Structure formats: structure tokens, C-alpha cells
């Protein structure tokens, strides 16, 4: 794939490579400091204000099932979420007996997310170094990024959004490294980080495609040979395709459905079909213009991204423009385009967190545009403007999260409560079930972990439960006599309709099955009911 390059270009690329390595080394202290601060914030929010996100805790529960419970095995990690967040939780949960909150409160997931917030800052600082942004400005812009209310919140709540943001910035960093110094090592690293991103979120697919298109255009603008361009695109995308193929194969091998993650009983499609959408999100369903407008409106979460995109487009389209602009544009538009498609199909809840990627991309685009200006004074003045825009963007993020029922969807009430330092007590209603089962440790209970994951994590004896990942779960559910003492079932409403017990025995929760009798009812969001299995059970 090598191309003959003039001596001046070789020297320029060598300088770019040296600059990139130096910037990466300088980024490490800032990354470690931000990761530590985010972890401390996470502990405060989780253990003091009881801000525990269900999706984050369920990922920890998937990892917990790999190590503990009645039937520990790797496939217990499940096929609802992408596997990497839970896989990274597994080694941390080896120490759960030393500190139970690692599982009970999902602290294992907080550690992983905080670490990836450090990775995001590391690659952001390194990228700004590639743009020749001075050290002081690199750190300042990285701090403004980390201080963004949404970035700070999702760096400290155990969710996968900042994990994908870190992987995104790594992919862009190494792709630009290849573009600047022709390093195949950087190109391979970019591909590996794309595969890592797929292990975190499915948005990595459109991200990779759009980034590959940006790389294709950038290489053509550099007048690279067609063979080299094709090879570079294949190297970038190959790990992503392999990761996707392995995931599909494992779904087929274990769940007997290669697309189980997409159309299974607990999939995103199944959940969104039950929850329903309202307002602008409902209006976007099967209306492409409304879907695109909503995606654009979500840019208000960090409105300077629009200025950055416009500046990058102007640079990209110039006759002698910097081809790196195409990479940055590709990295910015991929995931919003996916959301537009999902909103159109009615398979997206339109949550604000799906658009958090406007924030790192916005900072990158603005800094890149400033770095293209001629003259040190002009670049310095432009960086001052970039910093001001980032501050205004951070303020805009907080404003939209708190006040907008559309742009701040999913964040408004949480941010309002946390801003007032009021405890949220999320996912604590299930503790009454835990106390009852702990008082009856010899009672074996079947429960679908889809809604019962907080119970699984907080129970004194997890092996007391027969849960969904257990190999014999479905068999016991269909023929419980002599194999389980009781069945725990949530109310058949909302997401409770996806519960395996409700799907197999739709009348059980109402007590209309002759072979069960009610032991205990637990009022709360899920309205759990515990039924004893009688002697006439199947």
C-alpha cells in the first residue's frame, strides 16, 4: 500500500507523527485526573443521592451472572446489550465480597464508565495536539468538555454513552494519524477501536461507514492511488465487520436466532414498541423530514457543533483544504443519521443521551477550524472564541436538559433533582422483595432477570433464584412442579409484558392459575407478586 512520497512530505509527516506522540504522552495526566474526579462524582451520586440508572445496573447484573448464582457461565452475559460493558465489569466483580456495593449499587459499572471518560479526555487532548493547539488551550478545552453537564453526568452513571464517546475519539485520533503520517499501525488501531466501539453500542456501525467514507474522500484529495485507498478502507472496517459477524454467530449459536439482539423478546425494538412515543418523537415516526428536524433540534444540546460543522465543511470543500476535515465530518454525522433512521422507523425513544456525541465532536470541529487559520495571533484569537463557544455550549446543555421536554428527554427530572442535591432513591422499591427472600433463604424462586436484576444483585444468596440466563430456566418455567418453590412475577403492564413469566403464563400475576397461591405482594413500580407453586402444577 505504500506510495512514493516526496522528501518534504515525508519530513512533514514525520513531524506530524512526533507531534502526535508527544501530545498523547502529555494527555495522560489530564486523563487520569478527570477519570478520578468522575469516579468520585459517581460515588457521590450513587451512594449518597441514590442515583442508580436501571440500564447501567442491568449491565452489572449480566456480569454478576457470569460469576455467581445458580448457573454461572459466560453466556449469562446475555444478548440484550452489547457485551463489552458487562465483560469489563466481570473482573471487578471478583472483589464483590470485599465491597458489596460493587454489585448491589452498580459501582463496578461506575468504575468502567469513569475510566472511559478518562480515555475520552486522553484522546481529545491528543487530537488537539495533532491540530497544533498549544498545551494550555488543549487542557482548557478538555476541561470545558469534561465539565459539560451531560458529559459529567454520563461519565458518572455507569451507562455506555461515554464509553462510546471515548472509542469514537480514539478512532478519529488514529484515523487522522494514518492520514497525516501514513502509519499502518495507526490505521489498524483505528479499526480495533471501531470493533471496541461495536462491543459498546451498535452506533459504531454507521460511525464506521461514515468515517470510512470520510477517509476515502480524504485519501483521494491527497491523490493516493486507488489500490491504496481501497486497502485503507478495508483495513479500517475489517475489525468492525469481524466483531459484528462474531456477535451474530454467537446469537445464532446460543439463542438460535442470529438477529436475537435486534428482534428478540427483550430487544430495543420490543421495548420501544411497548413504551410508545409522544410529541415530537411520535411525529418523527414514518415522517423523514420530521425525523431529520428532530435530529437537528437535538443539536441544541451543544449548539456550537453547527458552527463547527459549517467551518469544517468550508475547509473540506476548498480546493486546497485540509483533507482531515472529511474525517471529522464523517465522525460527526454517522450516529445522528442512524438516529434519524430509527426515529423514522419508530424504534428510537429519542433520549437526549443518544445525541451526547454532538459535544465531543463539536469541541473537535471548532478547535480544528481555529487551527487552520494563518498566523499565531489569529489562531490565538480564534481559540479564545472557541473556548467562549464551549462555555456557552455547556450552559446551553444544562438549559436544554432542565427546560426542554424534547431536547432534554430523559434528563430533565434527574438533572433538576441532582442540581438541588435531593436524593432520587431509584431502583429501591425492589428492596422489599430482597428483604422477604433473605428472610426465607430456603425458598427457591424463579424470576425473569429482565426486570428482576436489582433483586439478583442485592440478595444475600443469589443461588436462591432461577433466572433467565440459567440453562434450565425455560424448562422450569413451563414445568415448575418439584423444581422450584415459588414464582416471582411483575404486573403485566408496560415492560412487564416482556417478562418471561407473563409471556408463558399471562394469567398468573392475576392469580387465575389453579396451581399457584399468593405468598406475598410487593407494591411498587413493578407490583411484584410472589406465588407458591402448588402440587397440581405442571
Query: Would 83 be classed as within a structural domain?
Result: no
- Is 436 in the same domain as 404? no
Average pLDDT, the chain: 92
Q: Give the model confidence (pLDDT) of 176-192 as tens digits.
A: 999 998 999 999 999 99
Q: Give the model confidence (pLDDT) of 485-495 as tens digits.
A: 999 999 999 88
If pLDDT is split at 50, 70 and 90, which confidence band does 4 have?
Answer: very low
Mean pLDDT of 417-428: 88
Three-state SS for 471-493 is CCHHHHHHCCCCCCCEEEECCCC
Q: Which tops the pLDDT comparison, 209 or 283?
A: 209
Q: Which domain covers residue 348, as residue numbers?
A: 272-424
Residues 163 and 209: their CA atoms lie apart, in Å, by 19
Residues 167 and 175: their CA atoms lie apart, in Å, by 12
Segment holding 529, helix H or strand E: strand 528-533
- Is 442 in the same domain as 384? no
- Asked whether the predicted pLDDT for residue 1 surpasses 50, the reply is no
Query: Would 82 be classed as within a structural domain?
Result: no
Query: Would 263 be classed as within a structural domain?
Result: no
If pLDDT is split at 50, 70 and 90, which confidence band does 112 have?
Answer: very high
Which grid cell sits at 85? Answer: 460493558
Beta-bridged to residue 366, according to DSSP, are none
Provide CB contacts within 8 A for 29, sequence distance 6+: none
Query: Would 298 be classed as within a structural domain?
Result: yes
Instruction: Give the model's pLDDT for residue 410.
Output: 86
Which grid cell sits at 80? Answer: 440484550
* Strand, coil or helix: 124: helix
- Asked whether the predicted pLDDT for residue 24 surpasses 70, the reply is no
Task: Look at the chain and report how many structural domains it folds into.
Answer: 2
- Asked whether the predicted pLDDT for residue 428 surpasses 80, the reply is yes
- Is 336 in the same domain as 403? yes
- Is 444 in the same domain as 408? no
Of 397, 424, 451, which one is at a domain's C-terminal end?
424
Mean pLDDT of 242-269: 91
- Is 392 in the same domain as 471? no
- Is 335 in the same domain as 386? yes
If pLDDT is split at 50, 70 and 90, which confidence band does 23 have?
Answer: low
pLDDT-wise least confident of 14-18, 395-399, 426-430: 14-18
Mean pLDDT of 240-261: 94
Residues 484 and 477: their CA atoms lie apart, in Å, by 9
CB 152, CB 77: distance < 8 Å: no
- Is 467 in the same domain as 415? no
- Is 520 in the same domain as 409? no
**Checking phi first, is residue 482 left (phi over 0); if not, alpha (psi -120 to 50) or beta?**
left
Query: Would 408 be classed as within a structural domain?
Result: yes
Beta-bridged to residue 488, according to DSSP, are 530
Query: Would 288 be classed as within a structural domain?
Result: yes
- Asked whether the predicted pLDDT for residue 105 surpasses 80, the reply is yes
- Asked whether the predicted pLDDT for residue 2 surpasses 80, the reply is no
Q: Give the model confidence (pLDDT) of 461-477 as tens digits.
A: 999 999 999 999 999 99
Length of the chain equals 538
State what percent of residues in the chain have pLDDT above 70.
Answer: 95
Instruction: Give the model's pLDDT for residue 12.
Output: 56
If pLDDT is split at 50, 70 and 90, which confidence band does 267 have?
Answer: confident
Distances (CA, A) of 216 to 185, 229, 326, 365: 18, 6, 9, 19
- Is 401 in the same domain as 465? no
Query: Would 283 be classed as within a structural domain?
Result: yes
DSSP letter (8 states) at residue 516: E
CB 456, CB 65: distance < 8 Å: yes
Residues 383 and 389: their CA atoms lie apart, in Å, by 10
Distances (CA, A) of 498 to 259, 274, 465, 473, 488: 18, 9, 19, 15, 14
CB 156, CB 47: distance < 8 Å: no
* Strand, coil or helix: 312: helix
Residues 102 and 462: their CA atoms lie apart, in Å, by 15
Of 391, 424, 457, which one is at a domain's C-terminal end?
424
Query: Would 59 be classed as within a structural domain?
Result: no
Instruction: Give the model's pLDDT for residue 270.
Output: 77
- Is 438 in the same domain as 420? no
- Asked whether the predicted pLDDT for residue 16 surpasses 90, the reply is no
Give the side-chain half-sphere CA count within 13 A for 416. Answer: 11
Residues 372 and 393: their CA atoms lie apart, in Å, by 22
The separation between CA 392 and the C-alpha centre of its own chain, rounded to angstroms, equals 25
CB 222, CB 3: distance < 8 Å: no
Q: How many other C-beta atoms are found inside a 10 Å radius of the C-beta of residue 278?
A: 11
Mean pLDDT of 18-40: 83
- Is 386 in the same domain as 292? yes
Of 408, 424, 440, which one is at a domain's C-terminal end?
424
Q: Which tops the pLDDT comparison, 162 or 78?
A: 162
Instruction: Give the model's pLDDT for residue 320.
Output: 83
Q: Give the model confidence (pLDDT) of 502-526 as tens digits.
A: 999 999 999 999 999 999 999 999 9
State what percent of residues in the chain have pLDDT above 90.
Answer: 81
Degrees to nearest 5, angle at CA 247 with 243 and 250 = 140
- Asked whether the predicted pLDDT for residue 313 surpasses 50, the reply is yes
- Is 325 in the same domain as 457? no
Strands 516-522 and 528-533: antiparallel
- Asked whether the predicted pLDDT for residue 279 surpasses 90, the reply is no
What's this model's pTM, rounded to 2 decimal places? Answer: 0.92
Work out the burial of residue 507: count CB atoms within 10 Å of its CB; fewer than 13 is exposed, 13-18 middle, 19 or more buried.
exposed
**DSSP per residue, 413-478:** HHHHHHHTT----TT-TTHHHHHHHHH-TT--EE--HHHHHHHHHH-S-GGGEE-TTSTTHHHHHH
Q: Give the model confidence (pLDDT) of 123-169 as tens digits.
A: 999 999 999 999 999 999 999 999 999 999 999 999 999 999 999 99
Amino acid at each position: 500500500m505504500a506510495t512514493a512520497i516526496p522528501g518534504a512530505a515525508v519530513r512533514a509527516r514525520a513531524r506530524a507523527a512526533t507531534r502526535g506522540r508527544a501530545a498523547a504522552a502529555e494527555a495522560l495526566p489530564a486523563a487520569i485526573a478527570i477519570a478520578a474526579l468522575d469516579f468520585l462524582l459517581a460515588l457521590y451520586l450513587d451512594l449518597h443521592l441514590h442515583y442508580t440508572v436501571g440500564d447501567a445496573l442491568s449491565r452489572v447484573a449480566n456480569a454478576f451472572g457470569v460469576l455467581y448464582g445458580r448457573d454461572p457461565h459466560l453466556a449469562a452475559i446475555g444478548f440484550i446489550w452489547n457485551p463489552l460493558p458487562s465483560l469489563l465489569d466481570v473482573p471487578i466483580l471478583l472483589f464483590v465480597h470485599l465491597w458489596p456495593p460493587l454489585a448491589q449499587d452498580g459501582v463496578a459499572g461506575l468504575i468502567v464508565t469513569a475510566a472511559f471518560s478518562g480515555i475520552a479526555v486522553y484522546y481529545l487532548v491528543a487530537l488537539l495536539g495533532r491540530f497544533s493547539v498549544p498545551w494550555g488551550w488543549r487542557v482548557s478545552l478538555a476541561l470545558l468538555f469534561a465539565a459539560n453537564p451531560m458529559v459529567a453526568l454520563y461519565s458518572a452513571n455507569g451507562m455506555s454513552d461515554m464509553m462510546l464517546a471515548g472509542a469514537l475519539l480514539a478512532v478519529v485520533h488514529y484515523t487522522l494519524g494514518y492520514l497525516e503520517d501514513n502509519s499502518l499501525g495507526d490505521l489498524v488501531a483505528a479499526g480495533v477501536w471501531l470493533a471496541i466501539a461495536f462491543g459498546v453500542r451498535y452506533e459504531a456501525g454507521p460511525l464506521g461507514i461514515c468515517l470510512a467514507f470520510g477517509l476515502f474522500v480524504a485519501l483521494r484529495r491527497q491523490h493516493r492511488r486507488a489500490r491504496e485507498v481501497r486497502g485503507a478502507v478495508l483495513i479500517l472496517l475489517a475489525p468492525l465487520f469481524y466483531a459484528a459477524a462474531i456477535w451474530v454467530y454467537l446469537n445464532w449459536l446460543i439463542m438460535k436466532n442470529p438477529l436475537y439482539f435486534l428482534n428478540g423478546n427483550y430487544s430495543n425494538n420490543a421495548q420501544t414498541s411497548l413504551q410508545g412515543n409522544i410529541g415530537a418523537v411520535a411525529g418523527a415516526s414514518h415522517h423523514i423530514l420530521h425525523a431529520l428536524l428532530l435530529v437537528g433540534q437535538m443539536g441544541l444540546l451543544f449548539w456550537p457543533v453547527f458552527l463547527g460543522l459549517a467551518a469544517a465543511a468550508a475547509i473540506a470543500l476548498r480546493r486546497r483544504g485540509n483533507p482531515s476535515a472529511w474525517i471529522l465530518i464523517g465522525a460527526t454525522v454517522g450516529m445522528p443519521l442512524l438516529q434519524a433512521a430509527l426515529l423514522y422507523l419508530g424504534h428510537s425513544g429519542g433520549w437526549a443521551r443518544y445525541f451526547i456525541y454532538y459535544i465531543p465532536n463539536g469541541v473537535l470541529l471548532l478547535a480544528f477550524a481555529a487551527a487552520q487559520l494563518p498566523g499565531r495571533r489569529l489562531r490565538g484569537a480564534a481559540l479564545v472564541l472557541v473556548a467562549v463557544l464551549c462555555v456557552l455550549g455547556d450552559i446551553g446543555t444544562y438549559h436544554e436538559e432542565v427546560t426542554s421536554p424534547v431536547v432534554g428527554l430523559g434528563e430533565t427530572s434527574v438533572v433538576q433533582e441532582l442540581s438541588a442535591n435531593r436524593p432520587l432513591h431509584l431502583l429501591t422499591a425492589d428492596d422489599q422483595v430482597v428483604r422477604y427472600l433473605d428472610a426465607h433463604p430456603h425458598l427457591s424462586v424463579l424470576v425473569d432477570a429482565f426486570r428482576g436484576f436489582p433483586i439478583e444483585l442485592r440478595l444475600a444468596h443469589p443461588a436462591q433464584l432461577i433466572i433467565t440466563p440459567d440453562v434450565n430456566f425455560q424448562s422450569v418455567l413451563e414445568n415448575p412442579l418439584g423444581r422450584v418453590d415459588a414464582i416471582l412475577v411483575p404486573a403485566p403492564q408496560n415492560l412487564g409484558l416482556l417478562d418471561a413469566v407473563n409471556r408463558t403464563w399471562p394469567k398468573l400475576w392475576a392469580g387465575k392459575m389453579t396451581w399457584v397461591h399468593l405468598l406475598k405482594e410487593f407494591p411498587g413500580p413493578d407490583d411484584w407478586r410472589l406465588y407458591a407453586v402448588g402440587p397440581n402444577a405442571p
